[in-house]
Amino acid sequence: MMKILNIISSPVNGTSASTKLGNAIVTKLQEKYADNTVTLRNIAQEPLPHLEEIQMTSFFTADEKRTPQQKDALKLSDKVVDEVMDADVIVINVPMYNFGIPSTLKTWLDHLIRKDITFQHSTSGIQGMVTGKKVYLAISSGGIYSEGPRKHLDYTENYLRSVLDFIGITDVTVFRIEAQSKPDLKEEYAAKAMKNISI
């Protein structure tokens, strides 16, 4: 059984390029692994709240010492962690916003990255605790960043690779759908993106 988790972070319904690309990746995974389940987590439609002081104190308090209020404040974070821990493959749909990731996706990561839950300090340094997962990033952008003069402005791929590596996810494949704000190139780049998906 292949358990697929698909994180949707574009608020655009119907025409979202990152969702289209993410859907195509999920379909290919389903073709490859006939015995599968797909969990959709739409963090644009149901955004997680920004972390507040109660989460800060709860994160760094041992479970047996947490107050009922602190335990309650961790419920959403626990759900995010459980979904990721339960998945074999995670497909993250990422529209580029202002050279980086949407704030909804950043907040999802803030709930996911937790000391002694998804990473820990060891004698050899930080050790990620989310092991054995495969991640596909479906990144959409208005411009072109895979090559050319704007390459250095892409803060999506490098950032996501860094935080995922921090929690132990090292097997990351990136697919891009670019030039979506360029009417003359949009369709060509969309077709190229779909053709390039190899699982």
Catalog residues that contact ligand FMN under the rule CB under 6 A. Answer: 10, 12, 16-19, 95-99, 140-143, 180-181
Q: How far is the CB of 48 from ligand FMN (least distance, A)?
A: 18
Nearer to ligand FMN, 22 or 59 (CB): 22
Nearer to ligand FMN, 19 or 104 (CB): 19
Contact 169, 135 (CB under 8 A): yes
Nearer to ligand FMN, 103 or 173 (CB): 103
Mark out the alpha helices in 5-52 (DSSP H runs): 17-32
Q: How far is the CB of 150 from ligand FMN (least distance, A)?
A: 7
Q: How far is the CB of 169 from ligand FMN (least distance, A)?
A: 22
Mark out the alpha helices in 33-151 (DSSP H runs): 53-59, 68-73, 75-86, 103-112
What's the CA gap between 21 and 127, in Å, rounded? Answer: 31
Nearer to ligand FMN, 29 or 96 (CB): 96
Q: How far is the CB of 179 from ligand FMN (least distance, A)?
A: 8
Smallest CA-to-CA distance from 180 within 96, 100, 103 is with 96
Contact 84, 112 (CB under 8 A): yes
Structure tokens at 194: 């779909």
